[in-house]
Structure 1
Amino acid sequence: MREDHRTQHLHNHQRNKLSIITTLFTRATAYVAVVLLSYAMGYLSHSSPPQPTQAPPPPPPSVFQLANLPTQLDNFRITAHCSNSPLPPHLVFPTILDRVFNGSSPYTNFPPPHLSPFLKKRRIKSSGSNGAVFEQLIKRVKPKVIVEVGTFLGSSALHMVNVTRKLGLQTQILCLDDFRGWPGFKDIKMINGDVLLLQQFMQNVVYFNATDSVLPVPFSTGSGLEKLCEWGVTADLLEIYSGHDFISAWGDINRAYRILRPGGVIFGHDYFTAADNRGIRRAVNLFAEMNNLKIQTDGHYWVIDTAFAK
Structure 2
Amino acid sequence: MAAIRHRLRLASSLCVVVCSELSCREGRRPPVANTLVEELYLGRDPMLSPLPDEKPQDFDRGMTHVSHRDIDMVLSSAVQPVSFWLELGAFEGGSAILTAQRVNLHGLNTSVVAVDTFLGDAHVIWERTREERLRKNLLRPDGTVALYDRFRSNVHDAGLQMCILPLPATSVVALKLVASLAARHVTPLPQVIYLDSAHEGGEVLLELRLAWKALSPGGILFGDDWVFAAGDNCVQEDVLKFAAEVEADLDDDLGKEVQDLRTLGRVRAGVFVSYQSFQWFMRKRLVAQAEATRDRADPGSGYSCWSDGFDAKLCCDEKKYGPGGFRNCWDLVFTFESCCKNS
TM over 0.5: yes
Percent of matched pairs sharing the same residue: 20
Query: Displacement of 1:275 after TM fit?
Result: 5.2
Counterpart residue type for residue 298 of structure 1 = S
Identify unmatched segments of 5+ residues in structure 2: 1-28, 126-135, 251-269, 291-296, 298-343
Query: Displacement of 1:288 after TM fit?
Result: 1.0
Counterpart of 1:291 (choices 232, 246, 257) is 246
**How many residues were matched structurally?**
219
Q: In the alignment, is residue 101 of structure 1 matched against residue 56 of structure 2?
A: no
Query: Displacement of 1:168 after TM fit?
Result: 1.4
Cα distance between partner residues in 2 of 1:198 and 1:90: 22
1:150 is matched with 89
- Tell which structure's C-alpha radius of gyration is larger: 1
Cα distance between partner residues in 2 of 1:297 and 1:276: 22
Aligned counterparts, 1:97-246, within 5 A:
97-111=37-51, 115-120=52-57, 124-130=61-67, 132-141=69-78, 143-186=82-125, 189-191=138-140, 192-232=142-182, 233=187, 234-246=189-201
Q: Secondary structure at the match of 1:211?
A: coil
1:254 is matched with 209
Give CA deviations for 1:195-228 in whole Å, capped at 9, x if unaligned: 1111111111111111221100101111121112
Q: 1:131 to 1:166 in 2, by over 3 A?
A: closer
Q: TM-score, normalised by structure 1?
A: 0.64
Query: Any conservation in 2 of the 1:188–1:197 contact (CA below 8 Å)?
Result: no
Runs of 4+ in 1 over 6 A off after TM superposition: none
Query: Any conservation in 2 of the 1:250–1:284 contact (CA below 8 Å)?
Result: yes
Q: TM-score, normalised by structure 2?
A: 0.58
Cα distance between partner residues in 2 of 1:245 and 1:239: 17
Query: Displacement of 1:247 after TM fit?
Result: 2.1
CA RMSD of superposed structures (Å): 2.6
Counterpart residue type for residue 97 of structure 1 = V
Query: Displacement of 1:92 after TM fit?
Result: 2.4
Query: Displacement of 1:254 after TM fit?
Result: 1.4
Q: Secondary structure at the match of 1:270?
A: coil
Counterpart residue type for residue 273 of structure 2 = T
Query: Displacement of 1:182 after TM fit?
Result: 0.8
Cα distance between partner residues in 1 of 2:73 and 2:222: 12
2:284 is matched with 306
Q: Secondary structure at the match of 2:47?
A: coil
Give CA deviations for 1:59-107 in whole Å, capped at 9, x if unaligned: xxxxxxxxxxxxxxxxxxxxxxxxxxxxxx9652233213332211112
Counterpart residue type for residue 100 of structure 1 = L
Q: Secondary structure at the match of 1:194?
A: coil
Counterpart residue type for residue 121 of structure 2 = W
2:226 is matched with 271
Counterpart residue type for residue 65 of structure 2 = G
Counterpart residue type for residue 46 of structure 2 = P
